[in-house]
Amino acid sequence: MVFSITKKAIIATVLLVVFCAVGVVALLNADVQAVYNGKVERKIPVYNVDRDDKLVALTFDAAWGGDKTEQILELLNKYGVKATFFLVGFWIDKYPDLVKKIDDAGMEIGNHSKNHYNMSKLDDQTKSQEIDYVNTKIMELTGKTPKFFRAPFGDYNNALMGVLEQKSMIGIQWDVDSLDWKGLSGQEIAKRVAKAKSGSIILCHNNSDNILDAIPLVISNLQNQGYKLVTMSELVYQQNYYVDNNGVQHLK
């Protein structure tokens, strides 16, 4: 009799474990299906823009070093090109005169955070402080407040995108990575950038090894294909838009 009761208890316990496992799997599957079906909204920055007018944006991230920046501005001016410089706060503090020269040259200035941290790892208050510091500094130096933010390392999450929305700023990524920071030659950089298309956002850095050799090749190649290089404000829609799951910005 005792054996019979124990056996029933064991069977009941096994069934309970099985039912619980099935329930957990069902819940996990529901979550996966929700993401797959788009029911869980993921906020995505702009990687490129849906347009067919052969506009592309050349962008430079500035965090370390500034000795090539004036020469970059001279080259851009020589070719009649406007670009966007995403500046880090500690770079601004070290090179305030270069910030003014970038602005005076007619280039656009974007926000690249104060300290170049992984933004997704910060709490919302610190995220906000990282962004506000740069906006304030740029306003003091140029009289203009940045409209666009590029996260260091391309590190975005929904919380960061929410902070940007509160500040009426647009998160910017890229779809063409020059990889200039890897020490590529000017020709290698230009070859990588040659895959740009209408609406592309091109990532470069202001102090990479061979950027001065690359810029004339990059610009000439694109211009020979009929592309016009413009600022983020000229490329990106700032009202009545949506960004799809691939990071492509569309007009509504």
Whole-number CA gyration radius for the chain: 24
Task: Check residue 182 and report its DSSP letter.
Answer: G
Give average pLDDT by consecutive 10-residue segment, the chain, 252 residues.
49 46 40 46 96 97 97 98 98 98 98 98 98 98 98 98 98 98 97 98 98 98 97 97 97 96
Range 20-32 burial, b when 16+ CB lie within 10 A, else e: eeeeeeeeeeeee
Q: Which active-site residues does the annotation give?
A: 61, 205
Nearest to 248 by CA among 38, 42, 48: 48
Q: Please name the helix (run of DSSP H) or strand (run of DSSP E) that holds residue 108, with its range, or none.
A: strand 108-111
What is the reported pLDDT for 9?
52
> What is the pLDDT, as a whole number, of residue 58?
98
Q: Extract the tokens encoding 96.
A: 């305030």
| Cα–Cα dist 25/75, whole Å | 59
The whole-angstrom separation of Cα 67 and Cα 137 is 21
pLDDT at residue number 7: 55
**What pLDDT is recorded for position 32?**
40
Single-letter amino acid, residue 52 = D
Domain segments of the chain as ranges: 1-40, 48-251
pLDDT at 98: 98
User: For residue 41, what pLDDT is reported?
Assistant: 85
Residue 186 pLDDT: 98
**Residue 49: in which H helix or E strand, if any?**
strand 48-49
Query: What is this structure's pTM?
Result: 0.84
pLDDT attached to residue 20: 44
CATH number of this structure's domain 48-251, picked from the four choices 3.90.1150.10, 3.40.50.300, 3.40.50.2300, 3.20.20.370 = 3.20.20.370
Residue 142 corresponds to which amino acid? T
Amino acid 33: pLDDT:
43
